[in-house]
Every structure is written in structure tokens, then in C-alpha cells.
């Protein structure tokens, strides 16, 4: 074990936390190297020895997009194109700004499920199920609400207030794509033949360009959704599906992400999770979200998510963050900064400001799991044998016993 990392561990909890996991059957990361002409899963990997914390970092999500356009909305995306470290991780993020009554017009994200939370304003959202039902599921959202749009289904968002609105969206692909229905259907290059559109939309040719947008796609090879049914004893990919005829908009909704978690605990942080346990509609979608509150100097202690990559945006305050491989990559984040933590790698966050800090995280699993290293190593039940830990951490056994007595 590298002495430098060991010292770092001592500073934190008087025992080393610089243990690297072996999370993936393949490799820790594959930071996109856009200049290469060889493509692997989208992009070729940068030489791992040249990888820096900045490769996992994006700055600017605090900036409002310009909404003075025809639809009155603006999407700022953070995909693999903006954040090369996302390559191969199957997750990305976006900020969507809305002018009063602005809308994000009906579109699909062909390769991703989308999950969003409202930071400011009141938003109406909706999606349309696939043929033949083409059922429209809509919901009015307010600050702190979380809603999920199944992969590939046509969906939209609209600001139903007289002030600006903003949401943060998480997407279950590093490159989700977007197909705006009106642009694809009525603005293709070259144009789709008018007769085809007139027949497809069953209208007179003269009204075609301004007509219905309620066209459903057929996105998934399997089904639109599988809302978790907690009462079923049969488990499928985690949880059995609810009868689709009984599915309601509320199955895709979680309320309460505007509420600050209580940070008056030993570590000074609190994670509010929105996984399939809180939002049954996430079942089978491979995505979830969290709100992380930090008291001044509070930390979210070193931990791993065994089943998920995490992408985090700072909404308030200054947070230091890290990926600890056996090499430590740290970065100070401020409002609007985005950072990605590869699946299964040990990471932590610490509030380095004197005020409350807040981050919104998206995770590439409906049930990411968390293993807090200190708890798992020193607080297991029963205890891990002191000899084993003393050898592993190369310290006196008494130090291990002291640590174990604290957890």
C-alpha cells in the first residue's frame, strides 16, 4: 500500500481508507480520447496514466441557458461530448431552463431513460405509451418533485408558471440522443413527402405543418415500463411488474427532493435517495437520483456503489470530491460543476465551505447500493479479526480495536 495514501487515510478516521476495489470485470474507466480515430463503445480510451481529475469534471451547469427562442426552453447537456470521463458509463446529465410558459417540445431520447427533478418553478410533464394504446400520462410537478420518462417514449415538459423554471435531468446513457418529433417529422432533410404526412396524421395537406405531435415511438425491444409491484412475491429484475392497466402517473413520481436532509449527525451529511424503493416506476430502468446535503465541513464518507456509476452536480456551496483508485483524483467543485465517479470505485465528498452545501446525484442503477468503507471494515457484524485488519492496514492491533469500538 502506498505510504502517501495510508497517511491520507489516517487523517480522515485514523485508519487507511485508500483501499481500491476491483469493481468491473473489465477496467476502472475509459476516458474518451476524441482525437483518436479508433472507436470503442463510442470513443477510444485515453492512456490511463494521463488521466486527470479534470477528465471526470464539467463546469457551468449553474448557467441559465438562453430561452429566448420559439419554444421558450434551453437544454444544457453534459454527455460524453462535454465530459470525456463518462465514456462507457451509461449515464449523463442535463439542465433544462424554461421561460414562463416555455416548453421542451415532444421528443424522445432513443437510448436513455430520463429522470428529472424540479429545482425551481412549476412544470407539467407527460409521456405517451407505445402503440396501440398511446396512452398519455401527465403530471404537474413542483419544486423537489422527481419524475421518470421511460426510455424512448415521446415526452415533453412545459413551464406552467409566470416565472422561469429549471430542472436537472439524469439520463441512462452517456450519449442519450434526442429526436424532437416536430423537427424529425416536419423538418427532415429532404422533406418527408406531404402525402405521407397527411395520411399518417390523417389531416388535410394544408394543415400538416402545424398538426398533432402525439406520435408514439416503439423504443424498447421488450416493453414500455414495468412499474414495481411491492406486493408481489415474484421477483423479476428486482421486483415484479404492476398490471400496466393499473399504472398511473404517480407511479413515475416522487415528491420531496426540495426538503433538506438533517445533517446533525457525526459526519455532517445526509443522502436522500430516490431509487426504485421510493419511485416504483424506476424498475428495470437502470437509473436513480439522490440529494446530498452537507453541513459546513460535513463529509459524505468514503464509500462505493457496487452497481452504479454516479454523476453529481453541485447546486449550492463548495464540495471537494474524489475518485480513489490507488491513485487519488480530487477536485474542488463549486456551483454548476459536475463530476463523475466510476462504478464501484471508492469516493467521497466534503463540504469545504462555511455554509450548507447541496448536490444532486444521478446513479446508473435503479438500486445502486452503498458500502461505506469504514462501516464495512470496522463496523462489520461480527467484527473482522483484528489481526487481519492490523496486517491489512499495517498498524498496531490496538489502533484497530479502537477503530472497531467506534463503529
Ligand X SMILES: *[C@@H]1O[C@H](CO)[C@@H](O)[C@H](O)[C@H]1NC(C)=O
Nearer to ligand X, 175 or 263 (CB): 263
Q: Which of 87, 104, 174, 270 binds ligand X (CB under 6 A)?
A: 270
Asked if 394 touches ligand X (CB under 6 A), the answer is no
Nearer to ligand X, 151 or 293 (CB): 293
Nearer to ligand X, 46 or 95 (CB): 95
Nearer to ligand X, 63 or 207 (CB): 63
- Known binding residue 305? Answer is no
- Known binding residue 104? Answer is yes
Q: How far is CA 395 from the centre of its chain?
A: 38
Report yes or no: 167 and 123 within 8 Å, Cβ to Cβ. yes
Minimal distance, residue 261 CB to ligand X, in Å:
4
Minimal distance, residue 294 CB to ligand X, in Å:
12
- Known binding residue 107? Answer is yes
Number of residues lying near ligand X (CB under 6 A): 8
Minimal distance, residue 100 CB to ligand X, in Å:
16
Q: Which of 210, 265, 394, 398 binds ligand X (CB under 6 A)?
A: 265
CA distance 367 to 1: 32
| Listed ranges 7-15, 24-32, 138-146, 258-266: which one lies at the site for ligand X (CB under 6 A) | 258-266
Contact code string over 63-102 relative to ligand X, x by CB under 6 A: --xx--x----x----------------------------
Report yes or no: 79 and 32 within 8 Å, Cβ to Cβ. no
Asked if 300 touches ligand X (CB under 6 A), the answer is no
- Known binding residue 381? Answer is no
Asked if 262 touches ligand X (CB under 6 A), the answer is yes
| Listed ranges 100-108, 122-130, 262-270, 333-341: which one lies at the site for ligand X (CB under 6 A) | 262-270
Nearer to ligand X, 88 or 270 (CB): 270
| Listed ranges 17-25, 134-142, 261-269, 399-407: which one lies at the site for ligand X (CB under 6 A) | 261-269
Nearer to ligand X, 47 or 66 (CB): 66
Asked if 261 touches ligand X (CB under 6 A), the answer is yes
Asked if 248 touches ligand X (CB under 6 A), the answer is no
Binding residues: 104, 107, 114, 155
Binding residues for Mn(2+): 107, 114, 155
Question: Which residues lie near ligand X (CB under 6 A)?
Answer: 65-66, 69, 74, 261-262, 265, 270
Amino acid at each position: 500500500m502506498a505510504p502517501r495514501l495510508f497517511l491520507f487515510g489516517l487523517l480522515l478516521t485514523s485508519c487507511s481508507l485508500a483501499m481500491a476495489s476491483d469493481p468491473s470485470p473489465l477496467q476502472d474507466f475509459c476516458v474518451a480520447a476524441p482525437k483518436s480515430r479508433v472507436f470503442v463503445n463510442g470513443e477510444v480510451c485515453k492512456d490511463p496514466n494521463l488521466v486527470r481529475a479534470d477528465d471526470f469534471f464539467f463546469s457551468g451547469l449553474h448557467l441559465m441557458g438562453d430561452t429566448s427562442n420559439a419554444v421558450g426552453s434551453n437544454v444544457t447537456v453534459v454527455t460524453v461530448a462535454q465530459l470525456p470521463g463518462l465514456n462507457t458509463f451509461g449515464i449523463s446529465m442535463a439542465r433544462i431552463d424554461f421561460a414562463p410558459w416555455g416548453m421542451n417540445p415532444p421528443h424522445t431520447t432513443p437510448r436513455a431513460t430520463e429522470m428529472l427533478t424540479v429545482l425551481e418553478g412549476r412544470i407539467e410533464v407527460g409521456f405517451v405509451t407505445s402503440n396501440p394504446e398511446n396512452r398519455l400520462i401527465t403530471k404537474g410537478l413542483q419544486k423537489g418533485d422527481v419524475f421518470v420518462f421511460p426510455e424512448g417514449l415521446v415526452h415533453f415538459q412545459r413551464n406552467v408558471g409566470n416565472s422561469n423554471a429549471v430542472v436537472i435531468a439524469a439520463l441512462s446513457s452517456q450519449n442519450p440522443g434526442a429526436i424532437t418529433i416536430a423537427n424529425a417529422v416536419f423538418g427532415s432533410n429532404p422533406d418527408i413527402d406531404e402525402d405521407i404526412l397527411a395520411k399518417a396524421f390523417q389531416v388535410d395537406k394544408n394543415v400538416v405543418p402545424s398538426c398533432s405531435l402525439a406520435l408514439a415511438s416503439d423504443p424498447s425491444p421488450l416493453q414500455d415500463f414495468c412499474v414495481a409491484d411491492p406486493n408481489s412475491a415474484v421477483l423479476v429484475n428486482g421486483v415484479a411488474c404492476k398490471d400496466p392497466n393499473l399504472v398511473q402517473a404517480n407511479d413515475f413520481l416522487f415528491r420531496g427532493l426540495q426538503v433538506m436532509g438533517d445533517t446533525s449527525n457525526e459526519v455532517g451529511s445526509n443522502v436522500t435517495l430516490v431509487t426504485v424503493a421510493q419511485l416504483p416506476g424506476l424498475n428495470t430502468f437502470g437509473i436513480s437520483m439522490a440529494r446530498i446535503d452537507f453541513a459546513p465541513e460535513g463529509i459524505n464518507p468514503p464509500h462505493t456503489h457496487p452497481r452504479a456509476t454516479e454523476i453529481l452536480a453541485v447546486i449550492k456551496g463548495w464540495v471537494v470530491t474524489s475518485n480513489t483508485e490507488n491513485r487519488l483524483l480530487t477536485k474542488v467543485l463549486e456551483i454548476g460543476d459536475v463530476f463523475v465517479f466510476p462504478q464501484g470505485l471508492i469516493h467521497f465528498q466534503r463540504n469545504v465551505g462555511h455554509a450548507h452545501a447541496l448536490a444532486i446525484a444521478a446513479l446508473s442503477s435503479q438500486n445502486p447500493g452503498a458500502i461505506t468503507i469504514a462501516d464495512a471494515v470496522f463496523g462489520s457484524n461480527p467484527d473482522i479479526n483484528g489481526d487481519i485488519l492490523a496486517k491489512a492496514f499495517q498498524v498496531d492491533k490496538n489502533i484497530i480495536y479502537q477503530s472497531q469500538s467506534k463503529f
